[in-house]
Amino acid sequence: MYDLSIEYQIDEFMIYCRSRELRAKTLESYEHTLRLFERWCNDELNITQVDQVTESVIRRYITNLQERGKYTFYANEKSKEQNFPERRRDFRKPVSAATINNYIRNLKVFFNWLDSDYILKKNPMKKVRQLKTNRNAKEYISDADFKRLVFDLLNEEFFESELSRPTITIQSTPKAYGHFTLSSDTWISKLGGTHEINIGAGTLSRPIENVCATLLHEMIHYWNYENGIQDTSRGGTYHNKRFKAAAEARGLSVEHSEKYGWSHTNPSDELLDFVLENGLTDILINRNELSSYRVGGIGTHSGVDGSALPRRTSSTRKYVCPSCGMSIRATKTVNVACMDCNMQMIEV
């Protein structure tokens, strides 16, 4: 008979996660969350089997997290003896909504995995939503800040800072979210030549995790190139299994396209964790689609067919100041600023 114990299934899930070469921090977060949940189910409800866990059980657990306070529950006695939680200054203080949401997200990953393997008849996390949190107003950052901040964070997290910083451009990229140029002297400066990674200006209004996924996609091309791995063919448009393997090992989920191969990438749970851990969800980037010269790259990247990109249907454009809300209209693409707020206006 198949072993449906929570303990056994957590062990199997962690083996699966390690086989995907997830980050140590992500593995630690998953195991910590799941072992706490396993012990709570056993101690509070005498539940030991995954098929005994219902939506009601999950909601009781979330309520208990909200009520009991920090460090009042632990995965095992050894943890309590080593950490002395009662000595902490924040002992029994409320658990933040952000922390509880992290638990919810980890439980979703676990039960979605059980559901995908047909272990469960009904997924108890299907209707469970994250808690509402009081978020700060999103902060607009410049293109330069985006290049420096996000590239360096991704480089450190997924490439051990092995990639030298390329020239990162933000400009119109017809039929693509971004591209990477193979030539190491695409841009020349006093410091020498560099590769180019470009992010389409018109795609920056997407959620930050998707923008990060696009940049990460192109960084994977960069890493493969530096390590002598040919990850595309057909003029750089078809993404092969080498690209798929590198992408899945570095925070992206990959889907196959008949025309472009393993090119359709989205942020995985690992990348979503990275975005949350680094506070990137409070960043909003936007820029007008400016006409510019596109340096040839290695093809259409980041998993998008150009025909799927949104097309303008109006000859007029509306620009709004992100600070005071003042708006103007123009009959062509312009680069305009609100002089009262000293901020660049964005197209809406």
Q: Which tens digits make up the pLDDT trace of 10-63?
A: 999 999 888 877 777 788 888 989 999 999 999 899 999 999 999 999 999 999
Asked whether residue 240 falls in the same domain as residue 340, the answer is no
26 domain-assigned: yes
Asked whether residue 336 falls in the same domain as residue 299, the answer is no
Domain carrying residue 11: 6-116
Query: Whole-angstrom Cα distance, residue 118 to residue 139?
Result: 43
Asked whether residue 262 falls in the same domain as residue 340, the answer is no
Residues in the chain: 348
182 domain-assigned: yes
Asked whether residue 109 falls in the same domain as residue 178, the answer is no
Asked whether residue 168 falls in the same domain as residue 238, the answer is yes
Question: What is the number of domains present in the chain?
Answer: 3
* Contact assessment for residue 247 and residue 217, using Cβ atoms and an 8 Å cutoff: yes
DSSP 255-298: EEETTTEEEEEEE-HHHHHHHHHTTGGGEE--------PPPP-S
CATH number, domain with residue 179: 3.30.2010.10
Could you tell me how far CA 68 lies from the centroid of its own chain? 31
Least confident of 38-42, 74-78, 161-165, 291-295: 291-295
Query: Whole-angstrom Cα distance, residue 132 to residue 110?
Result: 22
Q: Last residue of a domain, which of 52, 83, 116? A: 116
144 domain-assigned: yes
Asked whether residue 22 falls in the same domain as residue 165, the answer is no
CATH number, domain with residue 60: 1.10.150
Query: Whole-angstrom Cα distance, residue 33 to residue 111?
Result: 13
pLDDT value for 102:
82
Q: Is the pLDDT of residue 9 over 50?
A: yes
Asked whether residue 324 falls in the same domain as residue 301, the answer is no
Asked whether residue 110 falls in the same domain as residue 172, the answer is no
Q: Which tens digits make up the pLDDT trace of 84-133?
A: 455 555 555 777 887 888 888 889 889 988 887 778 888 999 888 878 76
Asked whether residue 209 falls in the same domain as residue 249, the answer is yes
Least confident of 41-45, 142-146, 152-156, 260-264: 142-146
Query: Whole-angstrom Cα distance, residue 42 to residue 53?
Result: 11
Q: Determine what percent of the chain falls in helix, strand and coil, rounding each to the nearest 5.
A: 40, 15, 40
Asked whether residue 91 falls in the same domain as residue 177, the answer is no
- Predicted TM-score of the model (pTM): 0.49
Asked whether residue 267 falls in the same domain as residue 323, the answer is no
* Contact assessment for residue 215 and residue 204, using Cβ atoms and an 8 Å cutoff: no
123 domain-assigned: no
272: nearest Cα among 335, 198, 339, 216: 216
3 Cβ contact partners less than 8 Å away, ≥ 6 residues apart: 9
34 domain-assigned: yes
Q: What is the mean pLDDT of residues 262-277?
A: 84
Q: Which carries the bigger pLDDT value, residue 249 or residue 183?
A: 249
191 domain-assigned: yes
Share of the chain above pLDDT 70, in %: 68
127 domain-assigned: no
What are the beta bridge partners of residue 238? Answer: 233
Q: What is the mean pLDDT of residues 314-335?
A: 63
Most confident listed range (75-84, 195-204, 210-219): 210-219
Query: Whole-angstrom Cα distance, residue 110 to residue 251?
Result: 17
104 domain-assigned: yes
pLDDT value for 124:
93
Asked whether residue 10 falls in the same domain as residue 82, the answer is yes
